Structures are given as C-alpha cells and as structure tokens.
Structure 1
C-alpha cells in the first residue's frame, strides 16, 4: 500500500504499484504522479530530488512526466 502525500491516506495501486500522470488520490483528488510521492523526493537535496538526471520540477505537488518517478 502506498500513501498519498497530500492527505496521508493509504492508496491501493494494485500489483504494479505505479501511478500514471493522470492518476489522482481517490480520497482527496491530489495528483499521484508528483514529486512529493516519489521515492527520490528529498527536501534537502538540490531541487528536492536525489535523481541527478531528473529535470528540476516547477511544482513538486503537481503531476509531472518524470521518467524516474517511483512511488514511495
């Protein structure tokens, strides 16, 4: 089970455990494919991401197209 960064509630993403760009939390409708839900997200890292090849995000709460996204 994964947890939504916005509301803190558990989300069942199924066997694959991945979120698509347009997927939203069923509880609060926050986008799931967002930096704050990513395993590489780290506020102390440069641009808030530990993945050196990722482009700096404009909005860490918004849905994005990052190829390195892995749900935490």
Structure 2
C-alpha cells in the first residue's frame, strides 16, 4: 500500500503528488526522497534510479523527475527493527 514514510498513513492512489503536496495526516511533504520507492541509503546519491543531482535534504520536497511514492508494509518495518536489534546485540550497545 502506498503510504507516507513519516506517519505510515495510506495515501489514496488517485492523489496527484506534486512538489508542494503534503500528507493529509502529518503535514510532511510527500514528494521527498524518504517517500520515494527508489530511495536506497548507501546507493549512489541514495537513489536506485542513479539521479545525477545530489539531494541533501531527504525529508524536504524536491523536483526529482524519478519520484514515485513508495510503499509501506509492517513486515518491512519489522525486518528493519529486527536487523537493528541484531546489530546492536552483536556490537553490545
């Protein structure tokens, strides 16, 4: 399901997302790297699309032509939480 990265509220598929579109729930910009399906920390410019221009503020609205609203799943979030817990246990944080 398409959702806001910040509050995880489902975003209607009919909503046209422009650079000034805000999440109806939390008011954060939807057209940002964190909300993009191509956002991938560690990739070139943190993007799977190989964009040329680096976008420093990943939570702020941008004009990237490759933007596509990403999906949020509880399973994906659980995997991230579990991986973080294993890493912390390994390094004894």
Which bin holds the TM-score, normalised by the shorter protein? 0.7 to 0.9
Q: By how many angstroms is 1:46 displaced?
A: 2.2
1:1-72 maps to which residues of 2 (within 5 A)? Answer: 1-14=1-14, 18-72=16-70
User: What is the TM-score with the length of structure 1 in the denominator?
Assistant: 0.85
CA distance in 1, matches of 2:58, 2:51: 16
User: What is the TM-score with the length of structure 2 in the denominator?
Assistant: 0.67
Q: Is the 8 A contact 1:54 1:66 kept in 2?
A: no
Task: Give the RMSD, CA atoms, in angstroms.
Answer: 1.5
Change (3 A) 1:11 1:43: same
Larger of the two Rg values belongs to structure: 2
Q: SS at the partner of 2:34?
A: helix
Higher helix content, 1 or 2: 2
Work out the number of aligned pairs and report it: 70
Higher strand content, 1 or 2: 1
